[in-house]
Amino acid sequence: MEAGSARRSRVRLAGLVAAVLAAAGCFVGGVSDPQGGEPAPPAPTVEPEATTTRADSTTSIEEFAEDVASAQAVAERYWAARFRESGERFQPIRRIIPYQRAGEVSCGGQPLPRNNAVYCSQGDFIAYDVTWSVAAFRQVGDAFVFYLLGHEYAHGVQVRLGVRYDFTIQQELQADCMAGAYLGDSVRAGDLTLAEGDLEEFREGLAAVGDDPGQPWFAEGSHGTAEQRTESFFRGYENSLSACGLG
């Protein structure tokens, strides 16, 4: 996936959603500011292993950091434009915080575990396990970063719009739709570029994820079945935000 005019190898989306959603948890609600209002900590140092990205053969931590910055910039431009169209001013999410150890960052008084990515509303930040994220980046390519930031950024937009549901699954499926709209609209606008076959591989990845069989839809933390998540994402991707129930 390319952002804007950046010159880099295109990557395929196969396995992207499985890598993100099978492990990631999303929190929306009261949180503790992990640094007490101080500047965000620098990204932890991650030692590269002898692995390569399946799509573009990179092991570069520097490229991962560049992709995080690019994904953040595309998301900020996208949502600023959508708010401007509605006559509103968009305030970007305050911080994006990488962490490396369980408990290094807390959310709602709960230490964040490894292998996770969250949006926390009180401190208005996204936090992610950088070691896990880099491993997924190497396995599936830079599209992982754009989806990860897109989904969590959608939770921040929900807070800004005052969107609140009774059940977690409603919040999560809408965020899937909004992430799809962000990606689809950005591709159509030329801000992102997909390689041939990406959408079909993305669909296959979405079909492989979802809540465990038998998990009640009303349970706290439910994200939806594989079918529900696939339908929500592609509804947003194909039809933009008007399909996401924000109006």
Give SS3 for 102: coil
| Cα separation, 85 vs 135, whole angstroms | 38
Q: Per residue in 55-79, pLDDT tens?
A: 455 568 898 999 899 989 999 999 9
Phi-psi region of 164 (alpha: psi -120 to 50; beta: other; left: phi over 0): beta
pTM of the model: 0.80
Q: Which pLDDT score is estimated for 137?
A: 79
Residue 62: Cβ within 10 Å count: 8
**For position 16, what pLDDT does the model report?**
40
pLDDT of residue 108: 85
Question: How many Å apart are CA 225 and CA 221, to the nearest integer?
Answer: 12
Block means of pLDDT (10 residues each) for the chain, length 247 residues?
52 40 45 36 43 52 90 95 96 96 91 92 93 81 78 96 94 93 95 76 64 84 84 94 92
Instruction: Return the pLDDT at 18.
Output: 39
Query: Whose CA is closest to 144, among 212, 201, 219, 83?
Result: 201
* String of DSSP letters for 11-62: ---TTHHHHHHTT-----S----TTTTSPPPPPPP----S---TTT----HH
| Model pLDDT, residue 76 | 97
Residue 52: predicted pLDDT: 38
